[in-house]
Amino acid sequence: MREILVISGKGGTGKTSLTGAFAHLASNKIVCDLDVDAPDLHLLLHPHPTHTQAFFSGHVAQIEEKLCTGCGLCASLCRYGAVGFKADSFSIDPLRCEGCKVCVQFCPAGAIHFPEKHCGEHYISSTRFGPMVHARLFPGEANSGRLVTTLKQQARELAKSRGLGLILSDGSPGIGCPVISSLSGANLAVVVTEPTPSGRHDLERVTSLCFHFQIAVAVIINKFDLNPQAAESIEAFCGARGYPVIARLPHDPVVTRAMVEGLVVTELPETDFSKEVGKTWTKIEEIAASLRKQ
């Protein structure tokens, strides 16, 4: 089974629009949205969940009012200011509670419960391009790296049970915990960049991360014509590091038109841009196939 991950380092480079088009072009695959902090692939693929599961991670302290004696020890011990006193009783603000368990441990009345925190949901869905695994973290919730790992495990099991040979994933921007989790087990990282200083900077950071984890990299320069000089400099960087630049895609309003219609660009009547995207996907498949033979 092959695992291809599309990442960007920087947000807004066109990563998800391209992943959506690749999802259309790829066969025998499962699509996975690993950008769990701000998922948006569903806006293009319109998944219909067939299986929903709650995601629990970490714990949150809760005071049981009838057991509380009002001694105030928890408020004095909490380093996060999560315990408040209002209307003659103590209570814990779940948004401030860091789940350190100190108050639970020291409450003399045993009045503080410590249940697991319901942080979000994850789904197996059907889409017009085949099965999709995706998730939603509730606002402000952390542990997105763990959720990414959960999604990847689910995608692998599903791909195995349905005999699908490819997991195509849309990763998070940045180089943090969810990206590191996304890279685990990937065969190829397709990095979508743009010719801007921050695009270049974040490309350097994310390719260093891939190098660290020994994941093969292929680079797409999107909107290259917005700054051809900067695009050339990115190519020089990639050349020096041995990263193949598999596409230089122009800025084309057809991408926005497809987005507005809730489609991916390769579903619209054929354009020069969609032909380029088709060629790009063929190159990605060739690189992924060559990696398998190594």
- Interacting residue with ligand SF4 among 34, 111, 190, 255 (CB under 6 A): 111
What residues contact residue 142 under an 8 Å CB cut-off, 6+ apart? Answer: 57, 58, 119
Binding to ligand SF4 by residue 109, rule CB under 6 A? yes
Count of residues touching ligand SF4 (by CB under 6 A)? 27
Question: If phi over 0 gives left and psi between -120 and 50 gives alpha, with beta otherwise, what is residue 165?
Answer: alpha
For ligand SF4, the closer of residues 88 and 270 by Cβ is 88
Structure tokens at 140: 């402000």
In one letter, which amino acid is 44? L
Structure tokens at 5: 């991950």
Site map (CB under 6 A) of ligand SF4, residues 28-67, x = contact: ---------------------------------x-x----
Structure tokens at 266: 């390769």
Nearest distance, CB of residue 265 and ligand SF4, angstroms? 47
Q: Give the residues across from 245 on adjacent strands.
A: 219
Asked whether 59 and 84 are in contact (CB, 8 A), the reply is no
Nearest distance, CB of residue 95 and ligand SF4, angstroms? 11
Binding to ligand SF4 by residue 132, rule CB under 6 A? no
* CA 129 from centroid of its chain's CA atoms: 19
Nearest distance, CB of residue 91 and ligand SF4, angstroms? 9
User: How many other C-beta atoms lie within 10 A of the C-beta of residue 98?
Assistant: 15
Binding to ligand SF4 by residue 73, rule CB under 6 A? yes
For ligand SF4, the closer of residues 34 and 82 by Cβ is 82
Nearest distance, CB of residue 128 and ligand SF4, angstroms? 45
Q: Which of 202, 234, 172 is nearest to 41 (CA)?
A: 172
Asked whether 201 and 207 are in contact (CB, 8 A), the reply is no
Stretch that binds ligand SF4, among 92-100, 152-160, 170-178, 187-195 (CB under 6 A): 92-100
Nearest distance, CB of residue 143 and ligand SF4, angstroms? 16
Binding to ligand SF4 by residue 142, rule CB under 6 A? no
Binding to ligand SF4 by residue 85, rule CB under 6 A? no
For ligand SF4, the closer of residues 68 and 218 by Cβ is 68
Type and span of the H or E element at 180: helix 177-183
Between residue 154 and residue 193, which ones bind ligand SF4 under the rule CB under 6 A?
Answer: none
Nearest distance, CB of residue 136 and ligand SF4, angstroms? 24
For ligand SF4, the closer of residues 23 and 61 by Cβ is 61
Is the C-alpha dihedral spanning 28, 172, 41, 94 positive or negative? Answer: positive
- Interacting residue with ligand SF4 among 40, 98, 121, 204 (CB under 6 A): 98
Could you give phi then psi for residue 285, rounded to 5 degrees? -65, -40
Dmax (CA) of the chain: 72
Q: Which residues bind ligand SF4 (CB under 6 A)?
A: 61, 63, 68-74, 77-78, 80, 82-83, 90, 92, 97-103, 107, 109, 111-112
